Amino acid sequence: MHESALTIRSTGGRIAAYVWLVFAALNIIDLVFGVTGDATYSLTAFTIGALLLLGCGIAYTVGLRPAIIGDEEAVTVRNPLRETRAPWPAVREIVGTNAVTVKFDGPGGRELETRAWVHQTSPRAQAKAEARARRSQDKTAAVLKGRTPAAYAAQQLNEIRDRRRSKAKSGAPDRAAEAEAEKDGATGTVGWSVPALASLLVPLVALVGLLVAGAVR
């Protein structure tokens, strides 16, 4: 039976992105159908439309896309334009300080590192959390007060990683050998996100073209 995946996102970022998407959709509908006035298909209207679409691309890449996903097979870090996926056997370390950082084996045996966009914490905020923990008399409360969102996310991911390793080690010797072989051959991958790049480049190119067309008129 497969365990459900752990997905970590920024609630505030998603809310802000959805607010912009609704705002942009209403304005584009107004431009096309003239809800609050006469519909216009002028160069200015097309330029405004391109700006709204560019804003939608930014909302997607910055607000909706970033996430950390831990499933049965791997940990995936989705940043605005890049995506990292590291199978659990390839993961060397997951820590949460100012940000969730995953160190893993890459192609050619190189150690690679990725920092998650989600749950980034400033050093000042982390210092305040640690100070609150030191002032607390209750040990449990101290741990909770000193734990940043990034640290809690790293803890959850490490728990998934440890559970998977425990399952591999609890099997028969041949299964343990199979797990060791899997570890030796596992590598993580880092690549660009085509949808994220397209959501920014397409409206940006259109906007530049409209601005140039307006300038030469």
Q: Which tens digit of pLDDT belongs to each residue from 97-142?
A: 889 999 999 998 899 999 999 988 765 655 565 565 556 655 554 4
pLDDT score at 35: 83
pLDDT score at 142: 44
Q: How many residues does the chain have?
A: 217
List residues bridging with 103 in a β-sheet.
93, 113
pLDDT score at 123: 59
Q: What are phi and psi of 3, to 5 degrees?
A: -80, 150
List residues bridging with 75 in a β-sheet.
70, 86
DSSP characters over 56-114:
HHHIIIIIIS-EEEE-SSEEEEE-SSEEEEEEGGGEEEEEESSSEEEEEE-GGG-EEEE
pLDDT score at 27: 95
Which residues in the chain come in under a pLDDT of 50?
A: 1, 141-143, 176-178, 181
User: Would you state the structure tokens that stand for residue 217, as one six-digit string?
Assistant: 């008129």
Verdict on whether the full-model pTM lies above 0.85: no
Q: To which residue do tokens 């906007």 refer? A: 207
pLDDT score at 181: 46
Q: What are phi and psi of 102, to 5 degrees?
A: -115, 125
pLDDT score at 128: 61
